[in-house]
Amino acid sequence: MITITAKKKALGVLIGLFLSMNLQAATTGTIALSGSEPAILEITVTSEQAASNLPLNTSVTDLKVGTVVERSNKKAGYTITLGSANALAAATVTASLRSTETVDFLPYSIKYGGNPVAFQSSGGAAVVTTVTSKTSAAGSVKNLTITFDGASAFLDQAVYSDVLTFTIIAK
C-alpha cells in the first residue's frame, strides 16, 4: 500500500522533472516584430489675405496669394494638378478673374513654386508638380503667385473672382 507521504514524494519528483525539462528544453527563442506605415498623400492649401482683396485697378507682378504644402510617403511619387474654374468654363488656356454681374474679365498669369503655369489646350487644368519620390516628413512648400495688369484694364464696377483647385494624385 502506498502511503500519502510516498504519493507526495512521487508527485514532487514528477513536478521537479517537469520543471527541469521546461527550463532545459529550449536553447533559443524568438519574437517576431512587425508594423506598417499608412499611406500619406496630402495637400494643404493656405491662402494669403491678398487673395481675397486683390488690387484690381493696379498692375501686380508675382503677388503671393497662397502657399501649398505637398506631402507624400509614396515611394513612386505623386502629381499635383491645378485647375482654374474660369479657364475651364471658358475652355481657354488663360486664367482670368471674371464678374458674374458683367461680361468683363481680367486675365492673369500664375506661378507655382516659381514656375509659370501653363494650362492644357482644353483649358482649365495644368500639371504643376510631378515627382518620382516621396517628400520629406515636413513636405514640400510651394508659393502661389499671380500677375495681372489691372491698371490698363479699366474694369466695370463689379466683383471679380476665380476658384483655383489643387489635387494630389499618387503615381
Hey, where are the domains in the chain?
41-170
Rg of the Cα atoms in the chain:
34
Rounded-to-5 percentages of helix, strand, coil across the chain: 20, 40, 40
Are residues 76 and 171 in contact, defined by beta-carbon separation less than 8 angstroms?
yes
Are residues 121 and 71 in contact, defined by beta-carbon separation less than 8 angstroms?
no
- Check residue 10 and give its pLDDT: 55
What are φ and ψ of residue 145, in 5° steps? -125, 155
Could you read off the pLDDT of 45-77 as tens digits, one per residue? 999 999 999 999 999 999 999 999 999 999 999
Q: Does the domain made of 41-170 have the CATH classification 1.10.10.10? A: no
- Check residue 15 and give its pLDDT: 60
Per-residue cell: 114:
516659381
- Check residue 121 and give its pLDDT: 76
- Check residue 20 and give its pLDDT: 55
- Check residue 7 and give its pLDDT: 58
- Check residue 34 and give its pLDDT: 96
Question: Between β-strands 125-131 and 115-116, what pairing exists: parallel, antiparallel or unpaired?
Answer: unpaired
For the chain, 171 residues long, give each residue's pLDDT as a single digit of tens.
Answer: 566 665 556 555 556 555 555 555 789 999 999 999 999 999 999 999 999 999 999 999 999 999 999 999 999 999 999 999 999 988 889 999 999 999 999 999 999 999 999 998 777 899 999 999 999 999 999 999 999 999 999 999 999 999 999 999 999
